[in-house]
Amino acid sequence: MKKIFFGMLFLIGCMAMPAHAIGLKGGVNWDMSTALGKYAKFANIYSMRGGSVWVDFNVTKHWSIGIDAGFHQLYENKDRASFELAPGSIVTASTYNKLYDIPIMATLKYTVFARGIIHPYVGIGVGTVYTREEIIFLDMALREKSWNFGFAPTVGVQLTLGRRFPVGFNIFAKYGMSFNKYTYRGEDLNPYQYVNVGIGLLFQ
């Protein structure tokens, strides 16, 4: 998964270089995440292990379409719990829970103010989310992984330094949801809900 993220990072860097000439802009973000709803029982720590890359094509002064992809890891040490590995085989141990997600979404954004250096925007992303759930105990691990439909509305603001400066800043908050069939201690965790807050560099 890390190879996927760094591959996308390289791609965005290559595409962003001529962005101003062809109506493109893109960026690299540092994402901080937390799980919501039932998934907070699995991993309820606010995690700074994440990042995302994006590319937008300006259709008009206010509207843009693009692609957004990220990588996030949630984790938490849990108290002792019992797990049935096979009929009649039960193990009791403390666990280390990990949850990875890779959202890849097509996006639609509306920029409220197209002029000036401050550009607040709202947007929506629709696509797929890869999730991998790990429960690590002793020298063993239980793993589940899947690709599922997901969506993510976003609000944010982009700060630019004018046409002469190709680099700016992006600040955003995003709520995401995807649908899977994971369970934890016998409880259905569906849907996966999360919040990302991030800051990053913008290239235009």
Identify the CATH number of the domain in which residue 67 sits: 2.40.160.20
Backbone angles phi, psi at 38, to 5 degrees: -65, -25
pLDDT of residue 21: 44
What gap in Å lies between CA 6 and CA 70, rounded to an integer?
10
Residues 137, 93: Cα–Cα separation, whole Å: 6
Report whether pLDDT(127) > 90: yes
pLDDT band at 185 (very low <50, low <70, confident <90, very high): low
pLDDT at 2 over 70: no
- Residues 26, 105: Cα–Cα separation, whole Å: 14
- List, for residues 87-104, the tens digit of each pLDDT value: 766 777 777 888 899 999
Give residue-wise pLDDT tens across range 9-52.
455 454 444 545 457 899 999 999 988 888 777 777 788 889 99
pLDDT of residue 149: 94
Tokens linked to 20: 């101003």
Would you tell me how many other CB atoms lie within 10 Å of the CB of residue 199?
13
Pseudo-torsion of CA 141, 146, 149, 152, nearest 10°?
Answer: 30
pLDDT for residue 109: 96
Name 186's Cβ contacts closer than 8 Å, sequence gap at least 6. Answer: none
Sign of the torsion formed by the C-alpha atoms of 8, 9, 10 and 15: positive
DSSP state of 89: E
| Selection from 26, 28, 29 nearest residue 56 by Cα | 26
pLDDT of residue 114: 78
Average pLDDT over residues 65-74: 94
**What separation in angstroms does the CA of 139 have from each of 89, 92, 95, 165?**
16, 13, 11, 52
| pLDDT value for 173 | 97
Residue span of the structural domain in which 35 resides:
2-203
pLDDT at 15: 47
For residue 6, what pLDDT is reported?
Answer: 47
> Cβ(99)–Cβ(132) under 8 Å?
yes
Number of folded domains that form the chain: 1
pLDDT digits (tens, 9 = 90+) for 129-182: 998 888 887 777 778 888 999 999 999 999 988 777 789 999 999 999 988 776
